[in-house]
Protein backbone atom coordinates (compact mmCIF):
# COMPACT_ATOMS: atom_id res chain seq x y z
CA UNK A 1 0.00 0.00 0.00
CA UNK A 2 2.69 2.49 0.97
CA UNK A 3 4.79 1.53 -2.02
CA UNK A 4 1.97 2.71 -4.29
CA UNK A 5 1.55 5.94 -2.30
CA UNK A 6 5.23 6.84 -2.59
CA UNK A 7 5.82 5.72 -6.17
CA UNK A 8 7.27 8.06 -8.78
CA UNK A 9 4.02 8.18 -10.72
CA UNK A 10 2.03 9.14 -7.62
CA UNK A 11 4.55 11.86 -6.81
CA UNK A 12 4.37 13.26 -10.34
CA UNK A 13 0.58 13.30 -10.37
CA UNK A 14 0.46 14.75 -6.86
CA UNK A 15 2.76 17.63 -7.71
CA UNK A 16 0.86 18.30 -10.95
CA UNK A 17 -2.36 18.55 -8.96
CA UNK A 18 -0.61 20.82 -6.43
CA UNK A 19 0.55 23.19 -9.19
CA UNK A 20 -2.94 23.27 -10.70
CA UNK A 21 -4.74 23.86 -7.40
CA UNK A 22 -2.33 26.53 -6.15
CA UNK A 23 -2.50 28.35 -9.48
CA UNK A 24 -6.30 28.15 -9.50
CA UNK A 25 -6.59 29.44 -5.94
CA UNK A 26 -4.21 32.33 -6.57
CA UNK A 27 -5.95 33.15 -9.85
CA UNK A 28 -9.36 33.17 -8.20
CA UNK A 29 -8.19 35.41 -5.39
CA UNK A 30 -6.43 37.70 -7.88
CA UNK A 31 -9.69 38.14 -9.78
CA UNK A 32 -11.41 39.26 -6.58
CA UNK A 33 -8.59 41.60 -5.62
CA UNK A 34 -5.43 41.12 -3.61
CA UNK A 35 -3.05 43.37 -1.71
CA UNK A 36 0.69 43.45 -2.41
CA UNK A 37 1.36 41.09 0.50
CA UNK A 38 -1.21 38.61 -0.79
CA UNK A 39 0.30 38.80 -4.28
CA UNK A 40 3.72 38.05 -2.84
CA UNK A 41 2.38 35.05 -0.92
CA UNK A 42 0.48 33.80 -3.96
CA UNK A 43 3.51 34.04 -6.21
CA UNK A 44 5.62 32.25 -3.59
CA UNK A 45 3.03 29.46 -3.34
CA UNK A 46 2.87 28.92 -7.10
CA UNK A 47 6.64 29.07 -7.53
CA UNK A 48 7.10 26.69 -4.61
CA UNK A 49 4.71 24.15 -6.08
CA UNK A 50 6.36 24.43 -9.50
CA UNK A 51 9.79 23.99 -7.90
CA UNK A 52 8.56 20.89 -6.10
CA UNK A 53 7.19 19.46 -9.35
CA UNK A 54 10.52 20.08 -11.10
CA UNK A 55 12.43 18.46 -8.22
CA UNK A 56 10.24 15.36 -8.34
CA UNK A 57 10.85 14.93 -12.05
CA UNK A 58 14.54 15.88 -12.14
CA UNK A 59 15.80 14.37 -8.88
CA UNK A 60 17.98 11.30 -9.51
CA UNK A 61 16.72 7.93 -8.40
CA UNK A 62 18.46 6.59 -5.27
CA UNK A 63 19.94 3.58 -7.12
CA UNK A 64 21.56 5.82 -9.73
CA UNK A 65 22.98 8.12 -7.07
CA UNK A 66 24.53 5.18 -5.21
CA UNK A 67 26.03 3.80 -8.42
CA UNK A 68 27.58 7.18 -9.18
CA UNK A 69 29.11 7.31 -5.70
CA UNK A 70 30.60 3.83 -6.12
CA UNK A 71 32.27 4.83 -9.39
CA UNK A 72 33.84 7.98 -7.91
CA UNK A 73 37.49 7.58 -6.84
pLDDT digits (tens, 9 = 90+) for 17-39: 999 999 999 999 999 999 999 99
Q: What is the pTM of this model?
A: 0.71
Give CA–CA dist 32/24, Å, rounded.
13
Round to whole Å and give the CA distance between 66 and 64. Answer: 5
Judge residue 29's burial from the number of C-beta atoms within 10 Å of its C-beta, 0-12 exposed, 13-18 middle, 19 or more buried. middle
Would you say residue 57 has pLDDT above 80?
yes
Is the distance from CB of 44 to CB of 17 less than 8 angstroms?
no
- Reported as a pLDDT band with limits 50, 70 and 90, residue 1 is low
pLDDT of residue 62: 65
Amino acid sequence: MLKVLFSNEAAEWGTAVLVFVSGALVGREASVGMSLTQWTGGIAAVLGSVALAVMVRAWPAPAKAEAARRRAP
